[in-house]
């Protein structure tokens, strides 16, 4: 693991180049969708479920194309796209189950993020130690919130957390436009 802290200026310039002249419209769009998600979390949860399902189905088609191109004829080569299709199809046919599964993925994410925050202090001693501990505690709290309210709570919590994340991403992009190279 590289113990060096990444150069913030390079990260900012990369983000600015990636979005180019669309940085502000993308930022505003993310904030608007995020606000909508907080006001209508069940709808944003369903949209999130649909997007993930679509990605799984597209990945299934991509894997089939790969298998055909590579002249794969074994049953094992066709199980992966079948699994992708079935998983995406279930998420579309049973959106509540898909959203509940996304809620469990959030639990796993927040537990891993808490672990990273608590171990981060050993890698970067003196760099925001208090904030790392605070963030780890919040991660555990959020993971417990998902676990205690699962599966019903996922219908609302997924939309709220995706919405909040989109708002913060939009705000960060707006802040990047004011950063001067230096």
pLDDT value of position 119: 86
pLDDT band, very low/low/confident/very high, at 76 (cuts 50, 70, 90): confident
Structure tokens at 125: 């001693």
The pLDDT assigned to 6 comes to: 66
Query: How far, in Å, CA of 40 to CA of 159, rounded?
Result: 8
Q: How far apart are the first and last CA of the chain?
A: 28
- Give per-residue pLDDT as tens, 2-18: 666 667 677 777 777 77
Pair 24, 175: CB distance under 8 Å: no
Contacts of 178 (CB under 8 A, 6+ apart): none
Q: What is the pLDDT of residue 143?
A: 96
Where do the structural domains in the chain lie, given as residue ranges? 32-175
Q: How confident is the model at residue 181 (pLDDT cuts 50, 70, 90)?
A: low
Tens of pLDDT along 19-33?
A: 778 889 999 999 999
Question: Which percentage of the chain shows pLDDT scores above 70?
Answer: 90
Mind listing the pLDDT tens digit for each residue in 129-175? 788 889 899 999 999 999 999 999 999 999 999 999 999 999 988 88
Q: Are the C-beta atoms of residues 95 and 46 closer than 8 Å to each other?
A: yes
Predicted local distance difference test score (pLDDT) of residue 12: 73
Between CA 91 and CA 61 the distance in angstroms is 17
Average pLDDT across the chain, whole number: 88
Rounded-to-integer distance, Cα 146 and Cα 101, Å: 11
The whole-angstrom separation of Cα 12 and Cα 177 is: 9
> Which DSSP category does 10 fall into?
H
With a CB cutoff of 8 Å and minimum separation 6, the contacts of 31 are 166, 167, 170, 171, 174
Rounded Cα distance, 98 and 35, in Å: 23
């Amino acid at each position: 693991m590289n113990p060096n802290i990444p150069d913030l200026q390079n990260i900012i310039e990369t983000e600015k180049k990636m979005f180019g002249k669309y940085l502000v419209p993308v930022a505003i769009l993310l904030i608007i969708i995020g606000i909508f998600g907080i006001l209508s979390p069940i709808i944003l949860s369903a949209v999130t479920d649909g997007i993930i399902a679509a990605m799984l189905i597209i990945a299934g088609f991509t894997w089939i194309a790969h298998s055909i191109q590579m002249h794969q004829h074994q049953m094992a080569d066709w199980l992966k796209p079948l699994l992708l299709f079935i998983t995406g199809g279930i998420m579309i046919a049973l959106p509540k189950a898909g959203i509940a599964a996304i809620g469990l993925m959030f639990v796993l994410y927040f537990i891993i993020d808490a672990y990273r925050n608590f171990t981060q202090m050993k890698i970067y001693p003196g760099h925001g130690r208090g904030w790392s501990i605070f963030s780890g505690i919040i991660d555990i709290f959020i993971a417990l919130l998902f676990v205690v309210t699962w599966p019903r709570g996922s219908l609302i919590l997924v939309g709220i957390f995706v919405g909040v994340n989109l708002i913060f991403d939009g705000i960060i992009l707006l802040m990047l436009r004011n950063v001067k190279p230096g």
